Amino acid sequence: MTSSILVPIDLADLETSTKVLSSALSQAISDNAKLTVMTVVPDFVSGLDYRYAIRGETGGSVDYDVREIVNEALQRLNQIVSENTPEGMPVDTIVRHGTVYEQILEVADDIGADQIVIGAHRPQISDYLLGPNTARVVRHAKCSVNVVRS
C-alpha cells in the first residue's frame, strides 16, 4: 500500500502531465495516499536570458531572476493541480530549480515517497523509449516508479 506519491510533471507538456496526474490521482484516492505534485525549472546558461534560451536564440544576455521564474512556475503548477484534482483534496506542490532528475530524486527522499508517478517522454521525442530524465529517475529512485506512457 502506498502512503506518499510524488508526481513530477513538465509544465511544457500538459497533455502528458495531465495523464500522469490523473493516473497518480486514481492511485492516491484508492490508497488514501498523500499526493505531492512537483515541477523543475531547469538550469539555464548563465548570462543568457531564459526566454531566448528556450526559443534557441543566442541573442540577449540579461541575467534571469530564478526566484521570479520559480514563482511563475509555482502559480502555473497550482493552477494545473486545482483544475485536475477534486475540490478539497489536499495536494502539496513543489517547484525546484536545477537538474531535473536530481531534483525529483531529492524531493522523493525529502518527502519519503513510496512511489513516483512520472511521464515516459514528450510526444515529439518518439524515437526514445524513455526520456533521459525519466530513465535516470527509474534507475536511481529508492522507491517504486510508475511510468505513464502518453
- Please tell me which residue, 11 or 53, carries the higher pLDDT value: 11
Angstrom CA distances, 46 to 57, 67, 78, 87, 100, stand at: 14, 15, 28, 40, 17
- Pull the grid cell for residue 87: 475540490
Any idea what the CATH number is for the domain that residue 141 is in? 3.40.50.620
- Pull the grid cell for residue 128: 526514445
Angstrom CA distances, 109 to 18, 45, 54, 61, 89, stand at: 24, 28, 30, 36, 23
Query: What domain range is 88 assigned to?
Result: 4-148
pTM of the model: 0.83
Amino acid letter, 38? M
The predicted-structure confidence for 53-93, as pLDDT tens digits, reads as follows 444 455 544 566 788 889 999 999 999 999 999 998 999 99
Domain count for the chain, please give it. Answer: 1
